[in-house]
Chain A
């Protein structure tokens, strides 16, 4: 095991630059291709074509689980022996597959060529292929490229790579007036709630990125203010900043506190009077707090351990510690972007063990030694830990379920309470 102590750990009192264990070794995580499973539901006229191996196809199929559609909007161009022989052939083959696909699916307006480990290792230039194919199929279909490979991306980073590839094609904002861009895919129901809230606050115009249709891309410019809805989007935000947009520092909208601070960051940037902010948010805050009380008695004092998965771990740990009084044993994240997580780190208790990266066997040793009340981990670890008598909450659900905002605060708490209630209920 290699444990590096972060060099900037000296002033341990600073919550943002606090010490973080950096671990490397075997990682039990998804690759970025998995992002396709929720992204294709969000952008309804987009198709995701992975250029990879049978493994990639098998992964997406396993991750998509029962979401088997008659005509799913994702697929894999499986590379075969002959594609590996020479690169020119591979390009011709790709053109053929894309032509075949677009003929089958004339409703597709946006096609992502998604790079994988095999395509990255053999250095198949998918960005050039995207450019070449875009010329051929424009104006009907726009073709972009990003990498969802395991060697470059972990799970939700696939969304970051996807959205970052969209940034260059966003129209330039002509307006002098400020506008708000909420970045990160949210469930439609959550998006609609936030939209109503921003309208009531008088914050706007508001656009969401990614959009539901690729034909309705939001514009971006120097007067665009970015509010990050998801913590795993550094490349997307950097690309937006390069186009002049400004990021608003805020924690993430989990729980009452997170949602309030997140909305307030936008309200402040748009000069909303504090009294008006309180008046608008008060009923929702009160309702959410009321709904949370039911779970507080279940969760308070329980010890929780997070394995790394989605980068949602730190904001979720903050919510569980501060609003539900849970004790944090270890909070691990695949990557820690200190600037984007700064507001979260300020709120996180100082004595929490933070880990960036993973060496799964060693982490399991720590987990077993700590005997937490509940462990947040992937499905590869969940049942084996349950069999050892350790209650788990499988982490992937946190990416697919609407959990942001006031109305979902109690639903989010319930996701953690349910496994504990279940364990207590079962006699045999």
Chain B
């Protein structure tokens, strides 16, 4: 048993629902107890879908267990087929459904529907949501595209000259973080390269569309967590190569363009030259200088976390101080990425472990999921969301991709915004003793005639600030201060006052480092001198 408070991923049948709900003309009959329908509201509320997910639940109750739950399943499947007339059906069991050991696949087969009925076996006590989505998509592709497979050993026919290359976009699902707009962005980008999209799946595809997957020249894998397995199978059976680069960030998008251009046999140069992105210029503008070596902690699904680390480090000039994922299946990829930044990979699905790590590392920015947003809020650290799971506000009405060049623009704004907020908050706190910022002070622009000549020059402060902060930051390379470091040393009032002048987001660390320094050096009273001695000590 695992003691869990919050979970990053739902059970695997929710992954299957994400595939089914993303598609059209597919129905899912799920052997599940009353109550499992809660998952519907993830789609109707968080993603704000206007239709019920195409899922029929058997909703068995305790009184049914003594009777024939298999019969209940068959009735539900029969009714669902009659009512919804799907092109294909998937059947399976939720965690409790799997314990009662009816066989949804066999039962549904025996009903003899004139459509493909695909059993989806999801080990609910071992696997989780993304695995469920991946397995469901893979089984669907196998069952529906499989019959169109060329005989083994057949080579793909060469594309006739002058014919545009076509590809499939694989991976987007219902309830995917920004999947809707990523698909639009990448479709547009491919169009600019002269590549057409054959089928986008699962999202927006019908079972009939899945049967056409083999027509494409190659596959674009947008989300390996979901589409990796299906893409490998298509590679094996249909000899369709697939892309490995995830186009999140400017460099990655450029690489992706080169990769697809090579697969499609087109020239990437015009599109690369045009590259309509503002991130590089914004990042180079002097206003962004204060972003240099901002300490950032990154956590999310492996794909988004790895992409975010690269952007953070290479495109925004942050310092990655922590990198982690809840996607155990991609632990190796993440470890490799973490090694690049010289940080230890954190692979866990326990949010308390993530919280402890964030507290220990004292980052100045957290990039994560909904959980990290709450962790960061609690610790008073700025935060931006980069990965599922997310709440309703991260299924925005506006166009907000993460992928491609527009995605890079979105990312710049999204990540920098909370930092600006942090800076503003610091400035307000810093000036709170200023006579002009006091309650009841008249606004100086009203010309009361006594606006001070020596009023602090705001731009100067903005520039001065980052110089102070990173110096203290570097202390983090030292191991986290031992707990109970406060024992012994007492803060002198002036030192305490001086401490308040340090930006709030690094103040906690400065306090701990100073106390540790005081204790190690037998200082009983922490003075202003001690504070700066400690700063100098840890800055080495």
Contacts and interface: CB of A to CB of B under 8 A. Distances in A.
A and B together in one complex: yes
Interface of A: 25-34, 51, 53-55, 57-59, 61-63, 65-66, 68, 70, 72, 74-81, 83-84, 90, 93-94, 96-97, 100-101, 117-118, 120-122, 149-152, 154, 361, 378-384, 386-387
B376 to A, nearest CB: 12
B6 A97 contact: no
Interface of B: 1-7, 9-11, 13-14, 33-42, 44-45, 48-52, 56-62, 64-65, 76, 79, 83, 94-96, 99-100, 123-126, 128, 370-371, 374, 378, 391
Contacts of B6: 57, 61, 68
Interface SS of B by simple majority? mixed
A154 B38 CA distance: 12
Contact of B61 (A66, A81, A94, A152): A152
Nearest to B44: A383
Contacts of A121: 65, 96, 99-100
B35 A387 contact: no
Contacts of A94: 1
Contacts of B11: 53-55, 58
A68 B83 CA distance: 39
B465 to A, nearest CB: 29
A418 to B, nearest CB: 18
A80 B2 contact: yes
11 contacts: A27-B37, A27-B59, A32-B35, A57-B6, A58-B7, A70-B374, A77-B2, A78-B1, A97-B2, A151-B34, A381-B44
A160 B296 CA distance: 47
Contacts of A54: 4, 7, 9-11, 95, 124, 128
A72 B95 contact: no
Contact of B374 (A29, A55, A68, A120): A68
Nearest to A26: B59
Contact of B125 (A25, A31, A81, A361): A81
Nearest to B5: A75
Most B C-beta atoms less than 10 A away, residue of A26, A55, A84, A118: A55
Nearest to A29: B34
Given A29-B35, A118-B96, A120-B62, A55 B44 contact: no
Contact of B96 (A29, A33, A75, A151): A151
B5 A117 contact: no
Contacts of A101: 3
B33 A78 contact: no
Nearest to A80: B125
Contact of B45 (A57, A75, A83, A379): A379
Contacts, number: 177
Contacts of A154: 34-35
B99 A118 contact: yes
A27 B34 contact: yes
Nearest to A89: B1
Given A68-B374, A384-B50, 10 more contacts: A26-B76, A31-B34, A59-B38, A65-B391, A77-B3, A120-B62, A151-B33, A151-B96, A361-B79, A383-B50
Contacts of B83: 361
Contacts of A72: 5
B4 A57 contact: yes
Nearest to A94: B1
A202 B371 CA distance: 50
B440 to A, nearest CB: 36
Contact of B35 (A68, A90, A150, A384): A150
B22 to A, nearest CB: 16
Most A C-beta atoms less than 10 A away, residue of B35, B37, B59, B62: B35
Given A61-B6, A81-B126, A384-B52, A151 B62 contact: yes
B41 to A, nearest CB: 4
Given A361-B83, A384-B44, A75 B95 contact: no
